[in-house]
Structure formats: C-alpha cells, structure tokens
Amino acid sequence: MPASFLHGVETIEVTTGARTISTVKTAVVGIVGTAPIEDVQEEYKTINAPTLILNEVEAVKYFGNHKAGYTIPQALKAIFDQGAGIAIVINVYDPDKHESVEDVAVSDINGGIDAETGKRTGMKAFEDCYSLFGYYPKTIIAPVYCEDAAVMTEMNTLCNKIRAMGIVDAPVGATVQDVISGRGPEGTINFNTCYIIRLSAT
C-alpha cells in the first residue's frame, strides 16, 4: 500500500497571504455588573445592552476606569491582563434610576423583561447575544453579586440554557478545604458543583 494513502479528508494549511482574525467562541466571557458610565461619553453609554469588548481601549471607552464600588472595569482589566480576550458586557447601573451604585439590587443583576420596551435586562440579556453576535458567552461572571444565592440560581438557569459555565466567588478568606466541604445544596457555602469557584484573596 502506498505510504501516501489516506483515509478520510486531508487538510492542508497555507500560512502565506492575508488571513482574517478568527474569534475563539468558547473563550468569550459574559460579565454582568456595574460601571461608572457617568464618566463615559454619551455616545458610548450602555445600560442593559450586551456590548462586545475586544480590547482594553474599548473597555475604558464603554465602561470607564476602575472606581470603588463598580465591578465591570476591574473585571475587564483582570481579563485583559491575562492576554487577549473577548468579553460581552452588560452594565445594569442606570444613573437615572439609581441614586448611587449601592442602590443596584439583585433584581437588576438577574434582570427580566422590561414591561415598557419588551427588552431583556440584566443577566437575561445574554440570551440576545446569539442574534446580536452569532454566539453566546461561554463563561458567565457577576463579580461581587454572584455571592448572593438568588444570583447563583439565575446564573445556573442561564448557563444551562445557553450551555455556558458560571464562575462564582467564594467568601473572602475561604480555603480550598472550606469550599470542598461547603459545596452542594446542603453545604455551608451552598455552592452547586456545576460552578467553577474562584477563591478571593484574603
């Protein structure tokens, strides 16, 4: 039998010439949280709208720089500090509705259907991503807010629906052993084992 005989399809990659940049859709992070959009130019302000962010410049342009109490800028910085990444971001902080970022409630993060506009809000707006971008985020995070049981429950529902993985924060100071013994519905931390758990720094 000739040495060149192949079963099935043969793929030959040509590395010369211009090539398009491809998106690794399984590496897209979905972030829901709060951003200081009062510091952002009017044309770039977004509230309850999934926004595709490809680099640090866009992160600052749409969601501002890190400020105490806001969760999105710090999360985006952490993502881009690890190298190239893609994020779909939903800011729920609305200066017309909230007097301060502390007024943002779990219901704002979880979202729902706006009775006036009929649009999805909060975390529910990730369900619109396929029609907007052609794919869903595959990792969902809600920094700080994910420690609330209601947010974890909503995150679990969303992840099952769009086939994503949720990452939740462990309580500050929790050890690996604390997390292992506290997982599951009967555990002291109430971590469902379908989550990836991120330990916070002490």
On whether residue 57 sits in a domain, the answer given is: yes
Give which of 26, 32, 134, 39 is closest to 76, Cα–Cα: 32
Instruction: Count other Cβ atoms within 10 Å, centred on residue 43.
Output: 6
Q: Does any domain span residue 4?
A: no
Asked if the structure places residue 178 within a domain, the reply is no
- Residue 43 CB contacts under 8 Å (≥ 6 apart), including other chains: none
- Is 68 among the domain residues? yes
The reply to whether 17 falls in a domain is no
191 three-class SS: strand
Residues linked to residue 165 through DSSP beta bridges, in sequence order: 139
pLDDT, one tens digit per residue, over 81-133 is: 887 689 999 999 999 999 999 999 999 999 999 988 999 999 999 999 999 99
Task: Find the domain containing 50 and state its range.
Answer: 25-169
Provide the pLDDT for residue 43.
Answer: 95
Q: Is residue 89 part of a domain?
A: yes
Best CA proximity match to 152, nearest among 200, 184, 120: 184
| Tally of CB atoms within 10 A around 191 | 20
Domain tally for the chain? Answer: 1
pLDDT tens track for 38-96: 999 999 999 999 999 999 999 999 999 999 999 999 999 999 888 768 999 999 999 99
Taking the model in full, what pTM does it have?
0.78
Looking at the domain assignment, is residue 155 inside a domain? yes
CA dihedral over 132, 52, 196, 103, signed as positive or negative: negative
Inside any domain, residue 201: no
